Structure 1
């Protein structure tokens, strides 16, 4: 529309050209001077348009390489039934993450940080335990082929895992992940619950996951139960929203 600010019109034109393939992923946009000449505006106006598209996660500026259309890897599809796969006998080490990413064990890296903590009101409600209950807190950063893909902060009752191999960070990564660890402790999970919300990443999350500006994350809160007992709470699993598609299915009985 003619009455829209010039920077919005320019951003809209470039956005459409990115989406229709005029500028495919990895291609360089016209220079500032070329955009100024094409649209008859000042460099300040063009910079506003470019900053808007950068904030939407569509483009990125590379030192010495100009402004290019961001290359976004195809989003991986993640379904709830992935938890069943790692409870079956495995010929080779795997976890839900390695299966999701379709990587082998040698392409998997896990940064970890283990501490002891007390359950705050929210964690206590999720565990259905009193506030102040002692927990093992584990923060993980998951890498596939050398690239950080997700952050996970999970909690386990200290009374369950204290002085066991599960509380030893040196034993990570553990084939089968948390499911296998709970089974090792004698409590094979019978139910997994997940709730998902979208939000913007914290500065620390965006830096750790090497995210472009303007991209939200999916924050997944998970509980693992054995019968009525809550054995693990993950608050949260954090994944850039442009890297994953969550698939959910339910069988409807007659």
Structure 2
């Protein structure tokens, strides 16, 4: 497309070189001066091409280190059956997150912030409760081997969890996670619902998760139900989209 801007055409060429392995992950791209001479354009045009690639998450610019092809983080596969894939009553402590990450309990860290709040109309609709119902809000940042991997903000009815160990942040992390906590309260979950969407991260999310520009997040809204009652709403589970693959499977009835 000869009518495309020069910076976009140069970005196309560099993108192809990155994808075919000419510039593999972790290597430095030629300098601005070198690229300017190669393509016969000004350094301002080359900067525009680099900015485009950086916004796509393909490269990162390091102070004093030039422009480097970004190393993609390891991708973990997350399946819906992770909620029932292990016996939380036996063996070493674990949660769905530690199993997803393939890490032991000592490699797991959880930053937490607990507050009491009132249900907004949106949360009330998800809980199927009146607006301004009192809730416990819990914000977690999940770490695996010292690296932040996931943010979760979940809500529980204060009437259910108030003045119980579940409302005590000092008890976190809790083996088995929220499912085990609800079972501890005598209300074991009988249904899990998840709605998945993608969006760009907020500045706070990107900073917390150490995300480069141009990478979207997967945002999962989850509800845990026990015999028809909504006991937890997670709004949202936030994971960088380049670190996760969501696997879903459905058993189909055989035709008679």
Name the TM-score class by shorter chain: over 0.9
Contact 1:136 1:155 in 2 (8 A): yes
The 5-angstrom pairing of residues 121-132 of structure 1 reads 121-132=121-132
Aligned to 1:58: 58
Name the count of aligned residue pairs: 254
Aligned to 1:120: 120
Q: Which runs of 5+ in 1 are unaligned?
A: none
- Give the TM-score taking structure 1 as reference length: 0.98
The 5-angstrom pairing of residues 95-114 of structure 1 reads 95-114=95-114
Deviations 1:165-190 (A, max 9, x none): 00000000000000000000001101
Structure 1 residue 191 corresponds to structure 2 residue 171: no
Q: Which runs of 4+ in 1 moved over 2 A?
A: 85-90
Contact 2:107 2:146 in 1 (8 A): yes
Contact 2:88 2:94 in 1 (8 A): no
State the SS of the aligned residue for 1:220. strand
Deviations 1:11-56 (A, max 9, x none): 0000011111111110110111110000000000000000000000
Quote the Cα distance in structure 1 between the aligned partners of 2:90 and 2:110.
20
Contact 1:33 1:43 in 2 (8 A): yes
Quote the Cα distance in structure 2 between the aligned partners of 1:124 and 1:202.
24
Report the Cα offset of residue 62 of structure 1.
1.4
Contact 2:32 2:46 in 1 (8 A): yes
- Give the TM-score taking structure 2 as reference length: 0.97
The 5-angstrom pairing of residues 170-181 of structure 1 reads 170-181=170-181
The 5-angstrom pairing of residues 60-209 of structure 1 reads 60-209=60-209
Q: What RMSD, in angstroms, separates the aligned Cα atoms of the two structures?
A: 0.9
Report the Cα offset of residue 65 of structure 1.
1.6
Q: Which runs of 5+ in 2 are unaligned?
A: none
